[in-house]
């Protein structure tokens, strides 16, 4: 999660977040030019008071669909995606049980219906700065997971992070 994430019209964090390189309000590694570092956390099987009809039904499995560094030509972006993929997969297997915090980040899916509010520690997602060499060139990192709950229902969760270059003076 960003330090100050952009919010949607319901006051919830948007699924697309952007940051300007070196902006300390959102770039958690100011001074490291050319990349924005976003802190994110993975949370599974949560109740959300903003979505009262959506109740946790356990999590049977979670797979990472994105980022996928294979086939990315830009070496800077491929390197960042490889690390981001590793960190996301690691977060999914290191979740904190809010009822047994003393056990540390030791839990992973599957989670039962009663195992709610499991979250990872915040981890860094590094996104290279946007480069506009052509109209379609953008450097964003999308985190996409596919989960299957205890009833077999499939859900996709997505977060898109973009790092923008400093405006030219």
Q: What is the pLDDT of residues 32-76, one digit of tens each?
A: 888 999 999 999 998 877 777 777 889 999 999 999 999 888 888
Q: Read off the pLDDT band of 139 (50, 70, 90).
A: confident
State pTM to two decimals: 0.85
* Cβ contacts of 150 within 8 Å, gap of 6 or more: 57, 58, 59, 60, 110, 112, 113
Higher pLDDT: 134 or 89? It is 89
* Nearest Cα residue to 1 out of 36, 41, 30: 41
Cα Rg of the chain, angstroms:
17
Mean pLDDT confidence for 120-148:
80
Please state the domain extents for the chain: 16-164
């Amino acid at each position: 999660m960003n330090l100050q994430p952009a919010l949607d019209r319901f006051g919830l964090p948007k699924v697309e977040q952007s940051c300007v390189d070196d902006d300390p309000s959102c770039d958690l590694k100011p001074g490291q030019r050319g990349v924005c570092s976003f802190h994110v956390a993975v949370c599974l099987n949560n109740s959300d008071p903003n979505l009262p009809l959506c109740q946790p039904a356990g999590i049977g499995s979670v797979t990472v669909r994105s980022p996928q560094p294979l086939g990315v030509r830009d070496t800077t972006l491929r390197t960042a995606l490889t690390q981001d993929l590793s960190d996301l997969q690691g977060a999914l297997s290191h979740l904190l049980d809010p009822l047994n915090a003393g056990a540390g980040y030791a839990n992973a899916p599957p989670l039962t219906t009663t195992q709610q509010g499991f979250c990872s520690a915040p981890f860094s997602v590094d996104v290279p700065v946007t480069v506009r060499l052509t109209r379609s060139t953008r450097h964003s990192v999308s985190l996409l997971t596919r989960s299957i709950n205890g009833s077999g229902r499939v859900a996709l969760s997505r977060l898109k992070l973009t790092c923008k270059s400093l405006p030219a003076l």
